[in-house]
Amino acid sequence: MSRYYDVIVVGTGPAGLAAGSSLAEMGIRVLTLDEQHRVGGQIYRKVETASDSTLRIMGEDYSRGLNLAERFHNSGAEYEGGATVWNVESDGRVAYSRNGKSQEVQAGYVIIATGAMERPVPLPGWTLPGVMGAGAANNLAKEANLIPAGPAVLAGSGPLLLLEASLLIKKGVRISAILETTAKTPSVKLLPPVVSALRRADFLFKGLQMLRDIRKAGIPHYKGVTEICALGEDRVDSVEATVNGSKKAFPANLLLLHFGVIPNVHIFRLLGCAMQWNSEQRYWYPICDRWGRTNFERIFAAGDGAGVRGALAAEYRGEIAGLEIARCLGLLPAYERDALAAPILTAMNRDALPRPFIDAMYAPEIKGKYFKDETVLCRCENIKVADVRKVVKEGVREVNEVKIITRCGMGPCQGRMCGPALAEIVAAEVDASPEQVGMLTVRPPLKLVPLGEIAEMEIENASQGQADIFKNMKK
C-alpha cells in the first residue's frame, strides 16, 4: 500500500524547508523529498557541514541556511535525501527514485518547491570542456570545496555573475575578464524601480561591495559585450567577444556563463498546471493564488519555481503555502491563518523592494536572432541552430513539431538545456513571441530512471496506477 502523508514537499531549498517546518510544527504529517543528499537547495547547498572558512567566504547570506536547516530537523518533518521525484499526479501521488528503487507515496497536498535553474544560453563553443554555468561552479565550491585554477572568464548578466566573481576573487582565482552583456548605459526604465530599491540600502550596499571587490582586484570588467564564444580544440583555451566595438580575446581554461535564473517548472508542466509567460524576464511560471495554490486544489507552488524572487522570498512563500494548507486540513481557522500570514507578507513586501530594479537591470536581451547557425543547440542530440531554422523555413510553427522532426529536446536532459533557446529561435523565425510557439511537452519519468525500476515499482492499483503514470503521453 502507498505510504500516506498529509503533505509532501518536493525540494529542500529555503521554500521547502520553511513549508515543511511550519507544517510539521503544527503536528501535520509531512514528507520532504530532495534529489540532493543534504537539505539547503541551491543557495544553502551543504551548509550544515560547511567548514568555518567556507562559511566566512560565502558570507551571512549563506550562514542563514544553518538556522533554517536546524529548525527543519527539529520540526518533526520526515526527510528523504537522494530522492529524485519523477512523477506527480494532481490527486497527490508522487513517484520518486531513491537508492535504485522507485516508489509511490500519496498525500492530501503537495508543495512543489523545486527552485530555479540557470538560463541555458547556447553560444559558439559552449559544449567544450571548461565551459560551465557560474552557478554550477558555485555549487562545486559548496559541495566539494573545488576551486578552479584559472585563468577564468565570467560572461553573461545578472547578480549571480558578480557574486561568483567576488567569491573567486576571495579565493585568489585568476580572472582574465568579466564580460557583461548588460547595457553599458543604464536605461531610463531603471529610474522608477531604483526609487524603491533605495529603500533597501543593505541590498544596494551588497551590490556595490561586489563591484568594489572586482575593481580593487583590477579585473577588466566590460559591459555591453556581444558575440561571446569559447575557443579551443579539446577544451576551452580562450574566450572571444566583441568589446567596445572590436573583437578581443581573453586567455581562459574556464568560461563561466550566467544569464540569470529561470523557474524550474518541469513538474508543473508535467502535471498540466496552467502556466503564464513573463514577457519581461522571458520565462514560464505556474499561475497561483496568493497562497501558492495552482489550478489544482491539492498542488501548491512555493519559492523560485513559482517565479524568481530570491531566497528570502522563497522562505516566506513556503510559510504562506504551509499556513493555507493548515487551514485546509482544519488546523487553523481562516482568521488565524490571516493573522499569522500578515507579518510574513509585510516582510515579503519589504524584501521585494529591490526586485523591480534587479529585473529591469538584468532583463534578458537574448532573443532568437542572437543564436548563431553553427552553434550546437541541443547538446544531447547534437542538433544545431541551423537545423531548427531549416525546418521552420519549411513550414513548422510549433516547438513540439520541431522536436519530433529534429530530435531537439529528446535527449536525456529532456529539453532542460535547449528548450528555452529553442522557443526563442522558433519565435524569432516566425515573428511571434515564445509564448505563441509553445513549450516542449514534459512526460514522466521527468528524470532518467531505469525502466526496470519502474516495472518493479509497487503500485496499489496496478492497472489504474500505470495508466496514470503514462497519461501525459496522450497530450
Ligand X SMILES: Cc1cc2nc3c(=O)[nH]c(=O)nc-3n(C[C@H](O)[C@H](O)[C@H](O)COP(=O)(O)OP(=O)(O)OC[C@H]3O[C@@H](n4cnc5c(N)ncnc54)[C@H](O)[C@@H]3O)c2cc1C
Residues that bind ligand X (CB under 6 A): 10-16, 33-36, 41-43, 61, 84-85, 113-118, 135, 138-139, 160, 261, 264, 303-305, 310-311, 314, 446-447
The single residue listed with the C-alpha cell 513556503 is 318
Q: Which position has the grid cell 512526460?
A: 443
Report, in Å, the least distance between residue 158 CB and ligand X: 10
Shortest Cβ distance from residue 334 to ligand X (Å)? 26
Report the distance separating Cα 262 and Cα 105, nearest Å: 28
Min dist CB 435 to ligand X, Å, is: 23
- Cβ proximity of 116 and 305 under 8 Å: yes
Shortest Å distance, C-beta 212 to ligand X: 18
Minimum separation from the CB atom of position 215 to ligand X (A): 21
Nearest to 329 by CA among 161, 111, 66, 126: 111
Radius of gyration of the chain (CA): 22
The nearer residue to ligand X, 81 or 465, going by C-beta atoms, is: 81
CB of 292 to ligand X, least distance (A): 11
For residues 38 and 66, the answer to whether their CB atoms sit within 8 Å is no
Contacts of 54 (CB under 8 A, 6+ apart): 62, 141, 142, 145
- Residue number with CB closer to ligand X (30 or 446): 446
Cβ closest to ligand X, residue 122 vs residue 303: 303
Cα distance between residue 11 and residue 36, in whole Å: 9
In the complex, what is the shortest distance from the CB of residue 384 to ligand X, in angstroms, rounded to a whole number?
26
Q: Which is nearer to ligand X, 33 or 77 (CB)?
A: 33
Direct distance between the N- and C-terminal alpha carbons of the chain, in angstroms, rounded to an integer: 29
Cis peptide before 151 (omega within 30 of 0): yes
Between 84 and 281, CB nearer to ligand X: 84
The amino acid that residue 465 corresponds to is G
Q: Give the shortest CB-102-to-ligand X separation in angstroms.
A: 12
- Minimum CB distance to ligand X smaller for 261 or for 271: 261
What type of residue is 258? H
Q: ∠ CA(410), CA(412), CA(416), 5° rounding?
A: 75
Nearer to ligand X by Cβ, of 299 and 402: the residue is 299
Answer yes or no: are the C-beta atoms of 178 and 214 closer than 8 Å.
Answer: yes
Nearest CB to ligand X, comparing residues 38 and 298: 38
Sign for the pseudo-dihedral over CA of 183, 186, 191, 197: positive
- Minimum distance of ligand X from residue 80's CB (angstroms): 9
Nearest CB to ligand X, comparing residues 85 and 388:
85
Could you tell me where the DSSP H helices lie in 46-106?
A: 52-58, 60-75
Least distance from ligand X to the Cβ atom of residue 261, Å: 5
- Please give the Cα distance from 153 to 220 (Å, whole number): 10
Cα–Cα distance, 378 to 383 (Å, whole number)? 5
Q: In whole angstroms, give the CA distance from residue 134 to residue 406.
A: 29
CA angle 263, 265, 267 (to 5 degrees): 150
| Smaller CB separation from ligand X, 363 or 391 | 363
